[in-house]
Amino acid sequence: MTASQAKAPGRPAPAFLVRSARMDDVRAIYALLQFFAGRNLLLGRSLSSLYDHLRDFKVAVAADNDQQVLGVCSLHICWENLAEIRSLAVAESFQQAGVGRALVQTCLEEARNYGITRVFTLTYQPEFFKKIKFRPIDKNELPHKVWSDCINCPMFPDCNEESLIWEAEA
């Protein structure tokens, strides 16, 4: 569990913790992802999928209320040395307060712990990821297996998500 405190301009700094998701977080994770999926900002996940992949998810929760999910992110292992940052979503009232960065950093640390040195993401927010040392990569450089979720996306085949990759420093 990681404790963080960040301050957005003109706002008090929210105190939050990043921890592994638990069963009692699934409904809140689902609601948060559906909110942004409804705006075509990410691919929604079914409740069944969330339960199936619960171990992939990290949540940011209010430091004073472990039940208040402020944000979510998952690390999905794709292949031998490749994982994907998926389902990054932060409640609107907590955006620009370090929650998303803390979630991604926690997932990258987990990737390092598994010995994974390459992590990619498909995103409509490339500038956010570039600040965390992701760089653009041609989608064609990623394995075809990666595109299995794309078929279920309402934006397919006219998606304009950008692909970026993070590579661990030697």
Kindly compute the dihedral angle of the four CA atoms of residues 78, 124, 151, 89, in this order, to the nearest 10 degrees: 70
| Domain ranges across the chain | 2-167
| Helix or strand (DSSP H, E) at 113 | helix 99-114
In this structure, are strands 15-20 and 2-5 parallel, antiparallel, or unpaired?
antiparallel
Residue type, 125: Q
The secondary structure of residue 104, as a DSSP letter, is H
Tell me how many degrees the CA angle 82-52-92 measures, rounded to the nearest 5: 80
Q: Supply the pTM of this predicted model.
A: 0.86
- Give the CATH fold of the 2-167 domain: Aminopeptidase (3.40.630)
Q: Each residue's pLDDT tens digit in the chain (170 positions)?
A: 444 444 444 455 579 999 999 999 999 999 999 999 999 888 889 999 999 999 999 999 999 988 899 999 999 998 889 999 999 999 999 999 999 999 999 999 999 999 999 999 999 899 999 999 999 998 878 775 565 555 555 555 556 788 999 999 86
**Predicted pLDDT of residue 134:** 97
**Predicted pLDDT of residue 149:** 58
